[in-house]
Structure 1
């Protein structure tokens, strides 16, 4: 029975339990409300059960544990409460998703007995207590998401047994203790996200074995020690987030071997020393945040070799800075002259509301002005400060005025009736109508709103794919699912 995305409303009738030969039941993405009928427990031949993205409330019935033939179970994006019931009898299940509900209680240890489980997503709930050590028995698991809960205690070392794991997210919980050295066994891991916890200690050297790792996100913890040089061996890494920890020492030169790196965030630590001149080798870098550290010395001229950094002014000296989005070196002890190639851009950035080049905390830059060496050409630095003081307020005012006019214009477009909108030709010829939205949207707009389905817009992952949050220029927000 397939009724997905049909705006079906009302409650699910308990008579559905009479369909004892039913194999597939998909009521996902509708307007269903009320509780899940316990009569579902009679559907013992059911292999697929999708009730995601509705308005269902109440408890998850204990009778769900009777569905011994079940392969896929998805209750995500509802208003379900109470604990996860015992699922020990779901011995054939491959995928379980309860994310984005109000489920509380602890994680049932019996989930660790589901030996065929490949996908487990219970993030965005109110689950508390520890992560069961029995999770180490889920040797077929590829996706594990426990983030945004109230899970506490240490990460069990048994997680290291999940040798097929590709995606591991435990962000925004209350995890403590060290990162287990057994993580070195997760050699297929591509995403490791432990953001915003209370994890302490060193980054274990075993992390250097994760050669398939694309994203390492350890922001907002209590990690200590220096940034390990072995991170430079993770040649597939495109995102490294270590901000807001207690890391000290120098930025290792080995990081500059990460040629695929797009995001490097090391802010709000105790890092000292120079910015490595080899940073120019990071030719794919889009964002660099080194703010709130103890860095000193000059900004390397080689930074202009980062060809993916966005240019705001096409001059011969900065022609390589093609896509600079964000460069933050504020609250350090960086000294010397801003390199010619960046200085000219800095002057132009001060006039632009869309660019941001923060070379140093302004007051420090002003105080140290008279201490610059002659070779640093203080006249240019003074001219840069003059541009900032005079042009920045004017530029910001004009930018906000233009944005305000664009917003009003866009708002009136979004208020147009559907009949007029449907007659309007979309740029790429492919348009979609979104329920409860009085306009049409092109696929290109979806790509723009999610920044190419960037992980920062990902709000959940289900059985068929990942769900992203997209906001239209008119202000309306909707969720879009990218199928596997």
Structure 2
């Protein structure tokens, strides 16, 4: 790691060809003398703390091919002398403080392939000369203050692939300008003032994977050409003036995982063909004028996690196929004309965290199945015609934090739960028969007193029974206390209520109480993630020197059983073994708590969250450069090797995925949830399906329940390709599924994340080595896959 500024004496290195000081702590300005390095081909000073202006003399470096100065604090304007760099291929000036306009001389850079000027303070019009960049493949101008019409000749070279101009003040008919850019795979136009008829101006793009034209002024009907984009994964058209119907041809874009057409003027019904979009995760159609019923065919969208149909004119019943959306965590049907009773099938949506059925015409009682939604946090059923009493089962929904039942016809007492106790009168009003200890409601009526037939019956019958019960309870309590003290070590705190605190090196009960206080009884605002087994909360514990932990609250309570049972002992032995693991690439497990209300694991907290979150965020993904990604892959390999080969008994993870790899502030990888799948399998109430995340599970688990270390090796192969590609390699895996081993002839360039600069030759060598190892891990035959120990050694040797 280098500190300080670049010395002017650098000019003495007259034969220097490559100057790469990427990711250091360099400060000060770029010296004028750098213009004397006439042999320089690579100038890479990105991700430092450089200030000052971009010196005009940089135009003197006639052999320069790569100018990479992004992620600094360079200010001033782009000098027109930059147009003298006739050999330049890659220019990265993004994420600085540059001002002024783009100089027309940029049009002289006939060999330029990448031009990154994003996230600066640039303004003015884009010069027409930019159309002379015939070799341009990537143009990133987003996050500036550009205005005016975009030059119509931008596609003259026909090679443009990645075009992002979002968050500016552009206007005009940009889609017509891009119509001939047939190689585009990523187009980001959101938050501008573009206009034009989307039906007439949208072209045909075979490689298009993302199109975001939201927050503009486009009009017309949605083009049926979207159905001819076989790679389209994200389509965002929300907040425009689009009208007409949703074309059924969109159902042919079977790679779609996000479709957002909200806040437009769409009419008609949801086409049945949308049921073919089986990869869809998010369907957002709110704020239109759609009508009719929701088609049963949408039940086939089993990957759906987010559905918003609010603010339309849907009527009739909710289809029963709704109950097939087992991964759904957000469902909003607010402000429609749905009628009938609330479907009992909604109780199947076991991962649902927010449900809004308000402002509809639902009638009848609340189905008891709704109270089985243990992950539900927000429930709004206000302004319907619902009646009857509120199920007492609401009191068992400990995760429910917000509820609105106003303006219905409910009667009887409100349940005694956190959500109802904390509810405002506005969330309960409009129900004439409702009672409870909330200001504005009528108080609960006292129970009727039973008429006693005489004191003799009371004393003769009741007292002996109570006395016998008391003796029995005391005896059982003493017996349990003696047994538990003999059998459990001091690492386990167990009380008479079956509450267990297995937290070595900490006072379990104090830590439990701290966590409840720190998360305000697991309030939704502290939730930082959700998974198949539970939700994760961030907790800062003041009594333990403000240590921050991640708390995984299980969807189901750990049942445990008798303290002396083999089942119980095995569970505690597993937890105790996992708390003793020490490895730099494995998330530390502090312990486990079981309470009558909830069960949870306590983990080390990692600041940057999951690898999946980082890769799905454009800015964060760019920050995760090639060197960091290589280290992430190595770190995961080291963690798996340790657990498989260096522990007293091998531990199989069972669920390696980008969601279970966490990153610290230095982007070091830490594998989380090691052993959790097995722990929860010990408690059959939690283990209801095969462990693993869809898309990472080894193929042999389709016909055998035997989980081995080679299953983890397969998942690692998928993960390694995902880190290189920047997204899950589902398309590659699908293409390879017809053979026993994946295609090893795939080109590295076809797998690289397009959001990053092209890697150096040395990094390309490393990435090719990783790809070869990853592909060997994906062999259909488990015996042909390498062990993770071999993978770890190989990566350490080659990289």
Question: Which of these residues, 81, 91, 96, is aligned with residue 115 of structure 2?
Answer: 96
Aligned in 2, Cα 1:105/1:69: closer, same or farther, shift over 3 Å? same
Question: Which of these residues, 540, 547, 551, is aligned with residue 408 of structure 1?
Answer: 540
In 2: Cα distance, 1:271 partner to 1:216 partner: 19
Structure-1 residue corresponding to 2:487 = none
In 2: Cα distance, 1:292 partner to 1:307 partner: 24
Structure 1: unaligned runs, 5 residues or longer: 371-377, 416-423, 432-440, 468-475
Q: Deviations along 1:384-420, whole A, 9 cap, x unmatched?
A: 75798753244789863545795432892369xxxxx
- The alignment status of 1:134 with 2:153, answered yes or no, reads yes
Q: Conserved in 1, the CA contact under 8 Å of 2:188 and 2:211? A: yes
Question: Which of these residues, 216, 232, 239, is aligned with residue 197 of structure 1?
Answer: 216
Determine helix, strand or coil for the equivalent of 1:135.
coil
In 1: Cα distance, 2:621 partner to 2:145 partner: 16
The alpha-carbon deviation at position 207 of structure 1 amounts to: 2.3
Determine helix, strand or coil for the equivalent of 2:307.
strand
The alpha-carbon deviation at position 304 of structure 1 amounts to: 1.2
In 2: Cα distance, 1:317 partner to 1:427 partner: 45
Structure-1 residue corresponding to 2:352 = 324
Aligned in 2, Cα 1:176/1:305: closer, same or farther, shift over 3 Å? same
The alpha-carbon deviation at position 263 of structure 1 amounts to: 0.3
Question: Which of these residues, 585, 593, 615, is aligned with residue 428 of structure 1?
Answer: 585
Aligned in 2, Cα 1:400/1:228: closer, same or farther, shift over 3 Å? farther
Structure-1 residue corresponding to 2:43 = 25
In 2: Cα distance, 1:121 partner to 1:334 partner: 48
Aligned in 2, Cα 1:75/1:443: closer, same or farther, shift over 3 Å? farther
The alpha-carbon deviation at position 479 of structure 1 amounts to: 10
In 2: Cα distance, 1:141 partner to 1:133 partner: 13
Determine helix, strand or coil for the equivalent of 2:203.
helix
Q: Conserved in 2, the CA contact under 8 Å of 1:447 and 1:453? A: no
Q: Conserved in 1, the CA contact under 8 Å of 2:161 and 2:186? A: yes
- The alignment status of 1:40 with 2:58, answered yes or no, reads yes
* TM-score, scaled relative to structure 1: 0.79
* TM-score, scaled relative to structure 2: 0.50
The alpha-carbon deviation at position 284 of structure 1 amounts to: 0.4
Q: Deviations along 1:448-484, whole A, 9 cap, x unmatched?
A: 27636224x647869968x9xxxxxxxx999999673
Aligned in 2, Cα 1:429/1:400: closer, same or farther, shift over 3 Å? closer
- The alignment status of 1:153 with 2:310, answered yes or no, reads no
Structure-2 residue corresponding to 1:418 = none
- The alignment status of 1:290 with 2:317, answered yes or no, reads no
Tell me which moved more, 38-47 or 301-310: 301-310
Q: Deviations along 1:224-251, whole A, 9 cap, x unmatched?
A: 1122222111111110001111112211
Question: Which of these residues, 366, 369, 385, is aligned with residue 344 of structure 1?
Answer: 369
Question: Which of these residues, 70, 74, 85, is aligned with residue 88 of structure 2?
Answer: 70
Structure-2 residue corresponding to 1:125 = 144
Q: Conserved in 2, the CA contact under 8 Å of 1:299 and 1:338? A: no
Structure-2 residue corresponding to 1:453 = 615
In 2: Cα distance, 1:309 partner to 1:161 partner: 39
Tell me which moved more, 91-100 or 152-161: 152-161
The alpha-carbon deviation at position 7 of structure 1 amounts to: 0.6
Aligned counterparts, 1:229-240, within 5 A: 229-240=248-259
Structure-2 residue corresponding to 1:299 = 318
Structure-2 residue corresponding to 1:53 = 71
Aligned in 2, Cα 1:448/1:464: closer, same or farther, shift over 3 Å? closer
Q: Deviations along 1:198-227, whole A, 9 cap, x unmatched?
A: 111211222222222111001111111122
Q: Deviations along 1:252-301, whole A, 9 cap, x unmatched?
A: 21111111100000111111221222221110000001111121222222
Structure-2 residue corresponding to 1:375 = none
In 2: Cα distance, 1:292 partner to 1:369 partner: 20
The alpha-carbon deviation at position 189 of structure 1 amounts to: 0.6
In 1: Cα distance, 2:282 partner to 2:390 partner: 30
Q: With CA pairs under 8 Å and 6+ residues apart, which has the higher RCO, 1 or 2? A: 1
In 2: Cα distance, 1:262 partner to 1:192 partner: 16
Structure-2 residue corresponding to 1:369 = 386
Determine helix, strand or coil for the equivalent of 2:51.
strand
Aligned in 2, Cα 1:181/1:288: closer, same or farther, shift over 3 Å? same
Aligned in 2, Cα 1:248/1:85: closer, same or farther, shift over 3 Å? same
Determine helix, strand or coil for the equivalent of 1:157.
helix
Larger-Rg structure: 2
Structure-2 residue corresponding to 1:16 = 34
Aligned counterparts, 1:206-221, within 5 A: 206-221=225-240
Question: Which of these residues, 17, 23, 37, is aligned with residue 5 of structure 1?
Answer: 23
Q: Conserved in 2, the CA contact under 8 Å of 1:301 and 1:339? A: no
In 2: Cα distance, 1:230 partner to 1:237 partner: 12
In 1: Cα distance, 2:113 partner to 2:107 partner: 13
Tell me which moved more, 441-450 or 89-98: 441-450
In 1: Cα distance, 2:210 partner to 2:136 partner: 19
In 2: Cα distance, 1:412 partner to 1:98 partner: 41
Aligned in 2, Cα 1:217/1:229: closer, same or farther, shift over 3 Å? same
Q: Conserved in 1, the CA contact under 8 Å of 2:155 and 2:177? A: yes
Q: Conserved in 1, the CA contact under 8 Å of 2:175 and 2:196? A: no
- The alignment status of 1:355 with 2:382, answered yes or no, reads no
The alpha-carbon deviation at position 369 of structure 1 amounts to: 2.8
Q: Conserved in 2, the CA contact under 8 Å of 1:223 and 1:246? A: yes
In 2: Cα distance, 1:442 partner to 1:25 partner: 40
In 1: Cα distance, 2:248 partner to 2:619 partner: 30
- The alignment status of 1:335 with 2:467, answered yes or no, reads no
